[in-house]
Amino acid sequence: MKFVASSQPAEGLGVLILFRLIEDATPAFFNPDRRLWIARAPGRLDVMGGAASRSGAPALQLPIAEAACAAIQARDDELLRVWSPTREGHRSQRLSTTLGDLGLRAGEEPGSYADARTFFAADPRDRWAAYLLGSLLVLARERGLRPAHGFELLLHSDVPEGRGVASSSAITVATLRALGQLYGLQLDGPELAALCQIVEREVAGATSGAAEAITAACSEADEVLTVVADEGVRPDGALVPEALEFVGIDSGVPRGAVDENVVAVADAAEDRARTERFAELLRQPVTDDSRRELGELMFAAHAAHGARGFGHETTDFLVGLARQRRDAGGAILGAKATGHGSGGTVLLLGERGKVWLEALRLKKALLERSGHSAHIFRWSSPGALSFGTIELVPAKG
């Protein structure tokens, strides 16, 4: 072992994979004589309200076990090297640049966001790096950071891209947290979330929702957060009841683009009432009546999602199968498409330990229908602040 961890990480959170990548990348990428810091941020499932959260309605969010992990190490020079191993061929894996190329020259004001967008747009295969290196620029412009040296940054993420589970927020929050450790910046949860949105909007040129970023930064495992864009996290979150379980199933359809004008005129009052009632039920003892109502609220949310033009035949297929299983006495209580836009992931609610088997039924049916072998999201995990950071120090001897 070239490095020793400052604490023992929880298993199954992607960190152990990152440890193996670090060992394999030393000394070719990392210096074995310098310490590293590791930060982590999860993706999320939109339990209720996410489709209209940008119009001011509350959104219920649940962090997932799938997460982005970032390992960072200081350099002596101005070089910035980022590496994100991937088996996919649609993007690059490595990018090297300098502080100066990023508009961070000694004695000068940081470069503009417009210049940064142009820089990262030069090659579409490098767009992923906008979230990582763009985080450094945002810290310079928004927090006054004047980095005197560069870094090596390794990113590993098992949050599927384009499935409506906030993969970009996860990698951005993890990177911001790692940069904060490297350069000595204290970033609390609300600030991490706000900076994440600036990175996504101003540098990456992507639509960014507050709910996704706040969940990546501020969540606790198995806790359904109530998030409002202008307020942050409400103090009335609810643990997932012991008798129930949320499971997500990837439809295989990339999440479609969101028409912000449609979102803006969405029936926020209807969404707010449905979301607040759902949260209230989660905080109460589970009864037969509450089970039934929770399920009906999810089916109603899915119907409203489709009525706004965000539906997709594949997510409708999965929700329809879930309703059939519910009506036949299966362990499913309700189902809905998650997040903004069409496609993406379908959320199931059901009996703990049993709805997982129902998800496997739906996965098999989807495979037979489309040939897509769905990823199933089952477990939850803590947000970036709750997880903390891990320091790796060079092994002695």
For 149-160, how does the pLDDT look when each residue is reduced to its tens digit (9 = 90+)? 999 999 999 998
Compute φ and ψ for 26, nearest 5 degrees: -115, 125
Distance CA 133, CA 96 (A): 10
Please choose, from the candidates 1, 10, 78, the residue with its C-alpha nearest in 3D space to the C-alpha of residue 38: 10
Cα separation, 150 vs 312, whole angstroms: 45
pLDDT of residue 25: 87
pTM: 0.91
On average, the pLDDT of the chain sits at: 88
Query: C-alpha distances in angstroms, 194 versus 91, 130, 202?
Result: 27, 17, 12
Q: What is the pLDDT of residue 174?
A: 97
**Is residue 310 very low, low, confident or very high in pLDDT (cuts 50, 70, 90)?**
confident
- Model confidence at 262, pLDDT cuts 50, 70, 90, reads very low
Alpha-helical segments (H) within the chain: 15-24, 113-121, 129-143, 167-183, 189-198, 210-218, 260-264, 268-282, 288-305, 313-327, 355-370, 384-387
Residue at 315: amino acid letter: T
Helix (H, G, I), strand (E, B) or coil at 4: strand
Is the previous residue joined to 254 through a cis bond, with omega within 30 degrees of 0?
A: no
Q: Amino acid letter at 286?
A: V
Percent of the chain with pLDDT over 70: 90
Confidence of residue 221 (pLDDT cuts 50, 70, 90): very high
CATH class of the domain whose range is 3-219+382-394? alpha beta
- Give per-residue pLDDT as tens, 333-376: 999 998 766 788 999 999 999 999 999 999 999 999 999 999 99
Instruction: Look at residues 372, 325, 381, 382 and name the one whose alpha carbon lies nearest to residue 348.
Output: 325
Structure tokens at 194: 């706000």
CATH of 241-377, one of 3.20.20.140, 3.30.70.890, 3.50.50.60, 3.40.50.10420: 3.30.70.890
Residue ranges of domains in the chain: 3-219+382-394, 241-377
User: CA-CA distances (angstroms) from residue 144 to 79, 138, 171, 386, 387?
Assistant: 20, 9, 22, 26, 26
Residue 74 is encoded by which pair of tokens?
């200081």
378 neighbors 3 (Cβ within 8 angstroms): no
Average pLDDT rounded to a whole number, residues 285-291: 96
Q: Is the pLDDT of residue 249 over 90?
A: yes
- Alpha helices for 203-267 (secondary structure H): 210-218, 260-264
Q: Is the pLDDT of residue 265 over 50?
A: no
Nearest Cα residue to 75 out of 24, 36, 123, 26: 36
d(Cα 275, Cα 298) in Å, to the nearest integer? Answer: 10
> Which of these ranges, 72-81, 230-239, 299-308, 356-365, has the smallest mean pLDDT?
230-239
Give the C-alpha separation, 170 to 168, whole Å.
5
pLDDT > 60? residue 66: yes
Query: CA 239, CA 258: separation in Å to the nearest integer?
Result: 30
Give 247's strand partners. Answer: 348
Residue 45: closest CA among 198, 170, 135: 170
Say whether pLDDT at 81 is over 70.
Answer: yes
Q: Using the predicted structure, report yes or no on whether residue 306 has a pLDDT greater than 60.
A: yes
Is the distance from CB of 94 to CB of 131 less than 8 angstroms? no
Give Cα separations from 61 to 18, 158, 170 (angstroms): 26, 19, 14
Sorted by sequence, the CB contacts under 8 Å of residue 190 that are 6+ apart come out as 214, 217, 218, 232
Amino acid sitting at position 45: L
CA 256, distance to chain mean position in Å, is 17
Work out the burial of residue 12: count CB atoms within 10 Å of its CB; fewer than 13 is exposed, 13-18 middle, 19 or more buried.
Answer: exposed
Q: Is residue 116 within 8 Å of residue 205, measured between CB atoms?
A: no
- Evaluate whether 170 touches 69 at the Cβ level (below 8 Å): no
